[in-house]
């Protein structure tokens, strides 16, 4: 199964941040509705099984 670390929406939390934990990151996705664009964010760990929104990294 794919992991969050392979997703384009996964952003690792920098070591100096308040909520830093090893392997922790944020899943940040852009959404759009009739009012405009907004971002959804949730904490995840890079070894979690990826969700249905998985998009492969291009780098």
Domain extent, residue 38, equals: 4-45
Q: What is the model's pTM? A: 0.84
In the chain, the number of structural domains is 1
What is the token pair recorded at 38? 């907004």
In a domain, 15, yes or no: yes
In a domain, 56, yes or no: no
**Residue 58's pLDDT is what?**
84
What is the token pair recorded at 2? 């794919």
Select from 22, 28, 20 the least CA-distant residue to 51. 28
Average pLDDT of adjacent 10-residue blocks, the chain of 59 residues:
92 95 96 97 96 89
């Amino acid at each position: 199964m794919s992991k969050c670390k392979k997703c384009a929406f996964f952003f690792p939390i920098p070591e100096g941040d308040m909520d830093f934990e090893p392997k922790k990151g944020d899943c940040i996705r852009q959404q759009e509705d009739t009012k405009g664009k907004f971002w959804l964010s949730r904490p995840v760990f890079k070894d979690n099984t990826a969700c249905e929104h998985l998009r492969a990294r291009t780098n």
